[in-house]
Amino acid sequence: MATVTINGKEHSFDGDPNMPLMWFIRDVAGLTGTKYGCGTGLCGSCTIHVDGVALRSCQTTMSEAAGKAVTTIEGLSADGNHPVQKAWREVNVPQCGFCQAGQIMQAAALLSKNKAPSDAEIVSEMAGNICRCGCYQRIHDAVRLAAGGV
Amino acid sequence: MLKYLEQELQSKRTPQLMAIVENVSRRGVLGGLLTSTGLVLAINVTPTAAREALKPYPTGGDTMPNKTVSDPRIFIAIDADGTVTIASHRAEMGTGITTGLPMVVADEMEADWSRVRIMQTQADEPKYGNQDTDGSRSMRHFIQPMRQCGASMRQMLETAAAAKWGVDPSLCRAKNHTVILLDKDKKDTGKSLGFGELAAAAIALPVPAQETLQYKSPNEFKIIGKGTVPTHNLHNITTGKAVYGADIRLPGMKFAVIARPPVLGGKHTKFDAEAAKKVPGVEAVIELEGVYAVPRKFGILGGIAVIANSTYAAMQGRDALNVEWDSGPNKDYDSVAYDKEMTATAAQPGKVIRNQGDPDKAFAEAAQVFTADYHAQHLSQASMEPLVAVAQIVDGHCEVWAPAQSPFGARGDVAAALKLPIEKVTLNMTLLGGGFGRKSKSDYVVEAALLSQKLEGKPVLVQWSREDDMRNGFYHTVSVERVEMAINDKGKVTGWRHRSVAPSILSTFAEDSGYQFFIEHGMGFVNMPFDIPNVRCENGKALAKTRIGWLRSVSNIPRVFATQSAVCEVAHKLGRDPKDFLLELIGPDRKLDPKALGFPEDYWHYGDPYEEYPLDTARFKNVIRVAAEKAGWGKKLPKGEGLGIAAHCAWQSYVATIVHVAMDSDGTVRVPEVNTVVDCGLYVNADRIRSQTEGAAVMGMSNTLYSGITFKDGAVEQSNFSDYQVTRMSNYPKKVNVHIIEPGPGARASGIGEPVLPPFHAALANAIFAATDKRVRSMPMGEKLERA
């Protein structure tokens, strides 16, 4: 029996240790803000934090997550007012919105380790997160805007 | 985890809407924003008679299934506390339409936007009117019905106030969520009643006859076209609370994935159900019969479904099935060979669709002839949300939750598949994580319903993997477009010949003749607007070997890539400036006469009556001129950089795009700036027009450089974002400047989602040529171009 802590709540797990954390988060823990987009670590829609580091939850197994503290979009801030979330709303980033939880989690992790990223650093950090609606210009602007407030 | 159902229970507050509460607009925030940015116009209490009334005009909305509905009692509810609830019946896939149409209602009824909440309806066209959210038609077809709803409700509120005060209704004027009492000189008396106080009386009144409605004049608008209005679901999206198809959770719900035939028309011959059932969590293995007989429409592909207690277990079970397939009649589909066949077809005369003047003579007498073939591969819509749907059947009633662009169509298809009357099917519209045309087809919804039926009504969520989504799609067509121009000794273009060869969407609906049909002809083909005396548009035969479907902008993508590339090529050949040459080809200001120009009898004008939206060359030239001005057309750029222009009119909107290309030394195409000018008539939410246009540049870059679906041995070769590349943050169009033309008097709302895309491809190709002297006529061009 392994345990994984998601947004401060402990979950026990005795299933397939190779199960991707993403499916546990969505189908077992019932936290649906983390999205399935590709299942192969190519799109970033499932990005979460494990011990503060942005990871693709579709590429993180339950055995890797065991004993770790996982944060999903639902747990990024208690009131939904993390500076990145606020910046996203200020810039009206989303179109369909499906990839945005992953984008926000990626940006939040970037800004937690680098308070003033350069444009090149923003691009390099965010390049793994696809937005098919094409919100990149606003994502870039919102990350810049949030950088002041993290 | 019954979040969706809980929301539905909350909606019982407003039973007349029978809808699901999607969200509540953030009270106070918007009002503050609008005020702080100074964008609220002073309220102008003009006498009613002086208002410039909207003169209703016919649109294609009148010919769509179930037409339009403009009954305010269907779309508007007012609570005693003054909260105005506006129903939004279109699907939300990122265009912002579920905010945009309620903005229209709220403005026309004088509601305070900060006190408006928006409710997503269910799929019910007899009640709400057509719900097909595609064809860039939501605003085009529903701005008038929504204005009618708002104006009716405003008049009902004024009438209710008049009764309370015992005065003539002409002395009552709705203003900012209240009705104010005027004196005989039409001056404000200071007496007012809130919408909440009037709600019960107003809603009980008869709906005013349409011809008695008084509409706002554009200078009275406070929301339409004023400032930036955030979409109503913005907060939920940024906090992970927004509900998409895969986010529905029902008690006892099962998760399913399906092994579908890799080749259209194929069938499984062998599979190992026992091995799948051994996977922990797998509960059942179910065969589904595919639909291949014509007309298959959106029929399911069939295959073997694995039902489990998690998506992961279902996917593991599917891997264990070890299915063997008989590929069937399309097993030879090979994209390399098919492109050669289409190219050969395009070199031969085809079926004449438009003929004007004597093109044979023009080409025979030409001093020089330009000929070029433009190739485009299949595309996958590749929405970030792979296809998904949920269904359950309780007491003979099927309830579905789906991200559906055509929700009522999907509901009807579910009813037909289950052999139930449509009243026994409910379809709840979730948010769509992108659509781009794929989610107009209902196969994935029907799969969920059929599986629930086979599981005795148990709730089941069918999840398509990314690979399923990419390999079992309804693909954007593959094409060769041959464009030829006859040029006389004075450098004038005297003849135009365009041969379009592409398998048709019609193959989904009827026996495939190999020829395209009137809807495809209407997209950037027969309506070529140039002032060229001799024109012929021909269609060459190409039989479909996979499912062909809509993808944002549809046939306009290959056609505009071809025609607007060709214009730039000929300009270069003649030593002319591409922008000047384009303007010259368009010719004098006029409204095109389809008959005189030899447009076909069945000419399709995006479903709208032509005389209501005639092709207007003055508007077309205007967007081109403004784009040139904004982009600094003609400015000197360093070596390896260049500007490219392209323009197009589609969905009754006029769009010109100028792309600035700066080549990296390794051949990577970079786009530091894009300027797009949009004339979409009367517009509602400028911010969403900008976001659609910014996104179109990103998608246009994907289509032009990266994305292509190819077939070998009948099956799609790509699988995921590894081999179906799309634009990423590492190389996106950096600065997309969107310039919206202010609407003139009587301007009509027209499309946005699609018309902003087609010019991008040719503008990028033309910019690459300007930067490198390299002309690329095939999409996708590849991640890196060879060094020029």
Per-residue pLDDT reduced to its tens digit, B514-534: 999 999 999 999 999 999 999
Contact A133 B736 (CB under 8 A): no
Per-residue pLDDT reduced to its tens digit, A25-62: 999 999 999 999 999 999 999 999 999 999 999 999 99
Residues B284, B179, single domain; the answer is no
Residue B708 structure tokens: 């292509």
Rounded to a whole number of angstroms, the distance between the first and last alpha carbons of chain A is 37
Q: Is A74 on the interface with B (CB under 8 A)?
A: yes
Q: Is B529 contained in some domain?
A: yes
The CATH number for A2-75, chosen from 3.20.20.140, 3.40.50.300, 3.40.1160.10, 3.10.20.30, is 3.10.20.30
Question: Mind telling me how many Å the CA of B383 is from chain A's nearest CA?
Answer: 6
How many alpha carbons lie under 13 Å from residue A1 in its C-beta half-sphere?
3
B481 closest CA partner among B540, B545, B422: B540
Contact B721 A31 (CB under 8 A): no
Residues B626, B734, single domain; the answer is yes
- What's the rounded Cα separation, in Å, for the pair B348 and B345? 5
Angle, helix A136-147 to helix B686-701, in steps of 10 degrees: 110
Q: Is B784 contained in some domain?
A: no
Res. B52 pLDDT band, cuts 50 70 90: low
Question: Chain A residue with minimal CA distance to B734?
Answer: A137
Per-residue pLDDT reduced to its tens digit, B762-778: 999 999 999 999 999 99
Res. B53 pLDDT band, cuts 50 70 90: low
Which residues share a beta bridge with B307? B256, B284
Per-residue pLDDT reduced to its tens digit, B162-199: 999 999 999 999 999 999 999 999 999 999 999 999 99
Per-residue pLDDT reduced to its tens digit, B556-568: 999 999 999 999 9
Tell me: pLDDT of B275 over 90. yes
Contact B95 A23 (CB under 8 A): no
Q: Are B474 and B548 in contact (CB under 8 A)?
A: yes
Please tell me which of the candidates B386, B432, B721 has its beta carbon nearest to residue A96.
B432
Q: Are B436 and B552 in contact (CB under 8 A)?
A: yes
* Boundary (domain end) residue, out of B408, B433, B463: B463
Contact A89 B230 (CB under 8 A): yes
pTM equals 0.94
* Boundary (domain end) residue, out of B183, B211, B239: B239
Contact A96 B466 (CB under 8 A): no
Q: Which pLDDT value is given to residue B47?
A: 39
* Boundary (domain end) residue, out of B463, B498, B515: B463
Q: What is the mean pLDDT of residues B133-141?
A: 97
Q: Which pLDDT value is given to residue B44?
A: 33
Amino acid identity, position A107: A
Q: Which pLDDT value is given to residue B38?
A: 24
Q: Which pLDDT value is given to residue B784?
A: 85
**Sign of torsion over alpha carbons B695, B699, B700, B705:** positive
Contact B692 A95 (CB under 8 A): yes
Q: Which pLDDT value is given to residue B5?
A: 30
Per-residue pLDDT reduced to its tens digit, B592-650: 999 999 999 999 999 999 999 999 999 999 999 999 999 999 999 999 999 999 999 99
- What's the rounded Cα separation, in Å, for the pair B282 and A51? 32
- What's the rounded Cα separation, in Å, for the pair B476 and B505? 9
Tell me: pLDDT of B98 over 50. yes
Residues B12, B158, single domain; the answer is yes
Please tell me which of the candidates B94, B243, B384 has its beta carbon nearest to residue A45.
B384
What's the domain count of chain B? 3
Per-residue pLDDT reduced to its tens digit, B663-682: 999 999 999 999 999 999 99
Q: What is the DSSP letter of B50?
A: G
Structural domain that includes position B267: 245-329+387-463
Q: Which pLDDT value is given to residue B702?
A: 98
Q: What parts of chain A have a pLDDT lower than 50?
A: none
Share of residues in chain B with pLDDT > 70 (%):
93
Question: Mind telling me how many Å the CA of A150 is from chain B's nearest CA?
Answer: 16
Phi/psi of residue A115, nearest 5 degrees:
-75, -20
Phi/psi of residue A22, nearest 5 degrees:
-55, -45
Residues B768, B648, single domain; the answer is yes
Q: Is B680 contained in some domain?
A: yes
Phi/psi of residue B117, nearest 5 degrees:
-120, 155
Instruction: Work out the burial of residue B35: count CB atoms within 10 Å of its CB; fewer than 13 is exposed, 13-18 middle, 19 or more buried.
Output: exposed
Question: Mind telling me how many Å the CA of B757 is from chain A's nearest CA?
Answer: 12
Res. B426 pLDDT band, cuts 50 70 90: very high
ipTM of the complex: 0.98
Contacts of B303 (CB under 8 A, 6+ apart): B258, B259, B260, B261, B268, B287, B288, B290, B323
Phi/psi of residue B749, nearest 5 degrees:
-65, 135
Query: For tokens 């299942």, what's the residue?
Result: A39
Q: Which pLDDT value is given to residue B41?
A: 27
Query: For tokens 């005020």, what's the residue?
Result: B35
Q: Which residues of A touch B1 (CB under 8 A)?
A: 30
Q: What is the mean pLDDT of residues B259-271?
A: 97
| CATH fold of the domain at A83-147 | DNA polymerase; domain 1 (1.10.150)
Q: Is A56 on the interface with B (CB under 8 A)?
A: no
Please tell me which of the candidates B433, B687, B736 has its beta carbon nearest to residue A96.
B433
Q: Is A34 on the interface with B (CB under 8 A)?
A: yes
Q: Which pLDDT value is given to residue B18?
A: 27
Residue predicted with more confidence, B350 or B34:
B350
Q: What is the mean pLDDT of residues B4-25?
A: 32
Q: What is the mean pLDDT of residues B226-247?
A: 96
Residues B627, B730, single domain; the answer is yes
Residues B674, B650, single domain; the answer is yes
Q: Where are the domains of chain A?
A: 2-75, 83-147
How many alpha carbons lie under 13 Å from residue B464 in its C-beta half-sphere?
32
Q: Which pLDDT value is given to residue B6?
A: 34
Q: Which pLDDT value is given to residue B227?
A: 83
Residues B409, B360, single domain; the answer is no
CATH of the domain at B370: 3.30.365.10
The per-residue pLDDT of chain B, averaged, comes to 93
Residues B37, B99, single domain; the answer is yes
Q: Is B677 contained in some domain?
A: yes
Per-residue pLDDT reduced to its tens digit, B714-737: 999 999 999 999 999 999 999 999
Residues B393, B307, single domain; the answer is yes
